[in-house]
Amino acid sequence: MSLLITTSLRSGDLLDHYRLERLVASGGMASVFRATDTKTGRPVAVKIPHPDKAGNGPVLGRFHSEIEIGRKLNHPGLVKVLPNDGASQRYAVMEWVEGRLLREIIDEQWNLPIERAIRITLSICDALEYVHAHGVVHRDLKPENVMVDAEDNIKILDFGIARETRGNLWNRAVRQEAMGSPGYASPEQIKGKRSDARGDVYSLALMLFEMLTGEVPFSGLDPLTAMNLRVLVDAPSPCEINPAISPRLQSIVHCALARDPAKRYASARKFASDLSATLAEEHRAQPLESFANF
């Protein structure tokens, strides 16, 4: 897949003391290069806003939000934003993470083994619990924003539209982009209401549903119809798509996907607690020989 290049910088260029090696991602706001810090020799990711966004206040606010949140938070499940004092232009430097996006893994495998899907979800829950405990809500969780390494350790990416729950620093900068990605937005986000930690739980539950079944609820419909159905109709039962899903796991997914936030898991920790118990049951029920290739 070719990437849309919307920056004048190219592979081989030197940006301050960072040697740009290759373009690895390009979206509506910025381009991301793998680079080498010539002072330390270590690989880093350099995220550079597109030049045509220089006068776009909300976009730049989102970019600065990601940097500020990245500097505030320190958890193995989050991509670390590195200090970059004295930069000659606006850009962010982050740790380089080896691995694959969860989106690539799902697209390749369709539905993941149940134990693996639960373990990845538990790792994301752990990172989310830390994020929420520090007063931040991600608001844009999706498979494209989770990196998975060879040991299934995860890193959550892109805090550009995150919001601080105990203040208005991030809320002020990104209020126009509050809904996040339509395919994984919670019902309250779709309705334009304030989203808290339970919104992240909902988005993560959609990701778990997709890891278990290869599709999200109401898959195949146009995005607007799918969003409306998520507001009006309960999600279908995942076991109808994957009969190997146990009734207990199905009930957990349904709770996390409750349309009413008050009926949803109140925290990532509570979601993880039930998933951990189910994982233990799945492990006991699995024949020993089936673990040979796990």
219 residue type, one letter? S
What is the Cα–Cα distance from 252 to 209, expressed in whole angstroms?
A: 11
What is the Cα–Cα distance from 90 to 180, expressed in whole angstroms?
A: 24
Q: 141, 171 in Cβ contact below 8 A? A: no
DSSP code of residue 78? B
- Which among 13, 16, 140, 234 is annotated as catalytic? 140
Angle value at C-alpha 135, between 234 and 151, nearest 5 degrees:
70
How many other CB atoms sit within 10 Å of the CB of residue 25? Answer: 16
For tokens 């495998």, name the residue. 109
How many other CB atoms sit within 10 Å of the CB of residue 286? Answer: 14
Measuring CA to CA, which residue among 92, 83, 84 is closest to residue 25? 92
What is the layout of strands, in order, in the sheet containing 18-26? Answer: 14-15, 18-26, 30-37, 43-49, 92-95
What is the Cα Rg of the chain in Å? 20
What is the Cα–Cα distance from 133 to 202, expressed in whole angstroms?
A: 17
DSSP assignment of 26-67, as one string?
Answer: E-SSEEEEEEEETTT--EEEEEEE-GGGTT-HHHHHHHHHHH
113 residue type, one letter? P
Measuring CA to CA, which residue among 157, 178, 183 is closest to residue 97? 157
Active site residue 140: yes
Show which residues are catalytic: 140
